[in-house]
Amino acid sequence: MKKGRHKFLDLEAYDTDKMANTYLAQYDKLFTELINEPVTLLELGVDQGGSIQLWGDYFPKGTIVGVDVRIPDIVFPERVHAIQCDQADKKKLTEIADTFAADGFDIIIDDASHIGKLAKISFWHLFHNHLKTGGYYIIEDWGTGYWDDWVDGKSTDLENYDDRDDDIFPYNFPVRKLKTPMNNHSHGMVGFIKQLIDEMGAGDVTKKLLSNPSVRPSKFESIAIFPGLFVIKKAQFDYFHWEKRLEEASEYLKKEHIENSLHIYQNLILKREDERVYRGLAACYSFQGKYMAALENLKEGIALNPNSPYSYNLLGEVLNKMGNYDEANKYFLLARSFIENNE
Delimit the domains of the chain by residue range: 5-234, 239-342
- CA–CA distances in Å: residue 193 to residues 140, 186, 273, 287: 11, 9, 30, 46
Helix axes 309-321, 275-287, angle to 10 degrees: 20
Q: How many CB atoms lie within 10 A of CB 139?
A: 25
Q: CA geometry: angle at 292 spanning 290 and 296, to 5°?
A: 120
pLDDT tens string for the chain (343 positions)? 346 777 778 788 888 888 777 899 899 999 999 999 999 999 999 998 999 999 999 999 999 999 999 998 888 999 999 999 999 999 999 999 999 999 999 999 999 999 999 999 999 999 999 999 999 999 999 999 999 999 999 999 998 887 655 555 555 666 666 777 888 899 999 999 999 999 999 999 988 888 887 878 899 999 999 999 999 999 988 777 888 889 999 999 999 999 999 999 998 888 788 999 999 999 999 999 999 999 999 999 999 989 889 999 999 999 999 999 999 999 999 999 988 877 6
Nearest to 131 by CA among 104, 112, 158, 154: 104
Q: Determine the pLDDT at residue 239.
A: 77
User: Exposed e or buried b for every residue in 235-268, given b needs 16+ CB within 10 A?
Assistant: beebbeebeebbeebbebbeeeebebbbebbeeb
Spatial CB neighbours of 103, under 8 Å, sequence gap ≥ 6: 132
Q: Determine the pLDDT at residue 166.
A: 55
- Residue 234 pairs with which residues in a beta bridge? 220
Q: Determine the pLDDT at residue 171.
A: 59
Spatial CB neighbours of 216, under 8 Å, sequence gap ≥ 6: 202, 203, 206, 239
In terms of phi and psi (left: phi > 0; alpha: psi -120 to 50; beta: otherwise), the region of 275 is alpha
Q: CA geometry: angle at 75 spanning 73 and 77, to 5°?
A: 145
Residue 206 near residue 216 (C-beta atoms within 8 A): yes
> What DSSP string runs through 291-311?
HHHHHHHHHHHHHH-TT-HHH
> What DSSP string runs through 114-131?
--HHHHHHHHHHHHHHHE
* Domain 239-342 class, CATH top level: mainly alpha
CATH architecture for segment(s) 5-234: 3-Layer(aba) Sandwich (3.40)
Q: Determine the pLDDT at residue 2.
A: 47
* Amino acid at the residue 179: K
